Chain A
Amino acid sequence: MTNFLQQVVSGLASGGIYGALALALVLIHRATGVINFAQGEMATFSTYILWTLTQNHGWPYWPALAVTLAISFAGGFGVHQLVVRPVERGSVLRVVIVTIGLLLLINGAMTWIWSGEVRSVHSPFPTRTIDMGGVAISIQDLGTIGVSIGVVILLGLFFRFTKVGLALRAAATNPAEARLVGVRVPLLLGVGWGLATMLGAIAGALTAPTVFLDPNMMQAVLIYAFAAAVLGGIDSPVGAVVGGLLLGVGLNLLGTYVNFVGADLRLPAALSVILAVLLFRPAGLFGHRVVKRV
């Protein structure tokens, strides 16, 4: 039983990370209508910035994280305005190919700037564990869960209660109409990309302490995030997070209790989740169907 609970908590921690990156995918899917294949590499790039600030320049962790988030926002906004916006009108395939190009470009750039060597990134949380009713839970895990849930709640409040958040939803769901009420749609979609990149940066910063930082760090996480987003429904922010948590816990339990799965088959298991959802419930758990009265 203790082991079970420990696996659930650590599953929630990795699930929180999947959820954060999945939420980034959902944001961009809603804004631009495509899956951003470069989301993982962009997150890794942000993590390198964090590493450079803390290790090379000796900054304390939190200011470094704040600056990393600001740079990530600007970077995501810039990528949208310079690279995505010119191809946004026209076939979806063009945007998809641009994001795949971005993936290769950013990956190459990281190897070029920081070399392919693995780096270690500090965690802001202590490495101790605490005892909760006989279950030893690492503070790192608790912190990760707390940060991902906190971020999601903040984002939800932003979309619901601020003018910019509302305009962003309008721009994403009905761009032509949004322009008529005075919303500068391309600018707002850029803000969406910026927010998604910030989320990616958070996912990267949470991932790095438990693995090592190298240019391919987020590639597996991106697959899990895809699975989480598909499971939750690609249009649903809530679904992305719930999907991430379910997937994290599910994969952890599968690895622990089903002998042949182990660590090696985690990725194929995630891919089978994608396949199964697309086959049997394409809208996902929280998939959005527009309710319309005709």
Chain B
Amino acid sequence: MTALLVLEGVEARYGPVRALRGVTLEVGEGEIVAVLGANGAGKTTTLRAVSGTVRRSGSIKLAGRALSGGPEAVAKAGIAHVPEGRGTFAELTVTENLRLGAYTRRGKIDADVERMAAWFPWLIERGDQQAGTLSGGEQQMLALARALMSRPRLLMLDEPSLGLAPLVVREIFRIVRELNEQEGLAVLVVEQDARIALAAAHRAYVLEVGEVAVTGTSAELRENESVRKSYLGY
């Protein structure tokens, strides 16, 4: 498998606090990779380091080319980041949110809106509704759809399950999985719910205090004694 995203010795800090102490990880083309870990382990910071919303050092490459600069440049390079806590434009309508998703692209976007309607049928019906008035689950789906509008090479999801009903979470992961299987979409997902993340992902990394502690395929991690005890709870 060819590597799409490669992180080598990535460090990041918030003021005096070192949040990442040299993280090395890889996402291949067409692969779903999960990042697991406890609160404060550096999961979210890993994604933020990639998208450039936190000060970082070390090497981050997308398809062999170094990613530098702010989030605008990273978005343009083909990475769609759905941040923690939905991240929709609450005051704008559903359709406007989708249009913004395609901001980095030129040309017509109608076909993409149609494509999103196939995945999320209610989006078109509620096109004129203010995004802030959608339910939590709907907002998360809208955030996902908006990210897909940019036709990303890599989709980054931060805690998609946060605060959502189990049924909605399953639906989101089902869509991500199908996009991966049908269109070869590469995904890097950060998730506290290890069970559901391992069910969807091909491989996973477990972070502990800013470093990779364990890595392997999802099956391997499910068998791993300490992962099972700490993150799966059985």
Which residues of A are interface residues toward B (Cβ below 8 A)?
A: 163, 166-167, 169-170, 173-174, 176-185, 288, 290-293
Q: Which of B89, B100, B135 has its CB near the most chain A CB atoms (within 10 A)?
A: B100
Instruction: Please name the 5 residue pairs, one residue from A and one from B, whose CB atoms are nearest each other, closest first.
Output: A182-B75, A182-B104, A179-B71, A182-B103, A292-B132
What are 13 A-B contacts defined by CB distance under 8 Å? A163-B99, A163-B103, A166-B100, A169-B92, A178-B100, A179-B53, A180-B51, A180-B71, A181-B103, A181-B150, A183-B100, A290-B91, A291-B132
Determine the chain B residues whose CB is within 8 A of the CB of A292 once the complex forms. 90, 132-133
B112 at the binding interface (Cβ < 8 Å): no
Q: Which of A169, A170, A181, A291 has its CB near the most chain B CB atoms (within 10 A)?
A: A181
Determine the chain B residues whose CB is within 8 A of the CB of A181 once the complex forms. 75, 100-101, 103-104, 146, 150
Q: A163-B103, A179-B70 are in contact. List 11 more A-B contacts (CB 8 A).
A: A169-B92, A174-B89, A179-B75, A181-B101, A181-B104, A181-B146, A182-B72, A184-B72, A185-B72, A290-B90, A291-B130
Determine the chain A residues whose CB is within 8 A of the CB of B71 once the complex forms. 179-180, 182
B119-134 contact mask (Cβ, 8 Å, vs A): 1 or 0: 0000000000010111
Determine the chain B residues whose CB is within 8 A of the CB of A293 once the complex forms. 132-136
For the complex, give the distance between the alpha carbons of A184 and B90 in Å: 19
B38 CB to closest chain A CB (Å) equals 25
For the complex, give the distance between the alpha carbons of A288 and B92 in Å: 13
B132 in contact with A177 (CB, 8 Å): no
A180 in contact with B75 (CB, 8 Å): yes
Determine the chain B residues whose CB is within 8 A of the CB of A166 once the complex forms. 92, 96, 99-100
Determine the chain A residues whose CB is within 8 A of the CB of B70 once the complex forms. 179
User: What interface size band does chain B fall in?
Assistant: 20 to 34
B87 at the binding interface (Cβ < 8 Å): yes
B153 at the binding interface (Cβ < 8 Å): no
A170 in contact with B89 (CB, 8 Å): yes
B74-116 contact mask (Cβ, 8 Å, vs A): 1 or 0: 0110000101000111111000100111011000000000000
A180-B87 CB under 8 A given contacts A166-B96, A167-B103, A173-B92: yes
Q: Is the interface of A mostly helix, strand, loop or mixed?
A: helix
For the complex, give the distance between the alpha carbons of A291 and B129 in Å: 11
Choice from B72, B99, B130 contacting A179 with Cβ under 8 Å: B72
Choice from B89, B96, B135 contacting A177 with Cβ under 8 Å: B89
Residue of B nearest to A187 (CB): B72
For the complex, give the distance between the alpha carbons of A91 and B101 in Å: 31
For the complex, give the distance between the alpha carbons of A119 and B71 in Å: 50
A176 in contact with B104 (CB, 8 Å): no
Residue of A nearest to B147 (CB): A181
Determine the chain B residues whose CB is within 8 A of the CB of A291 once the complex forms. 130, 132-133
Determine the chain A residues whose CB is within 8 A of the CB of B88 once the complex forms. 177
A173-B91 CB under 8 A given contacts A163-B99, A166-B96, A181-B75: yes
Determine the chain B residues whose CB is within 8 A of the CB of A185 once the complex forms. 72
A177 in contact with B133 (CB, 8 Å): no
B53 in contact with A176 (CB, 8 Å): yes
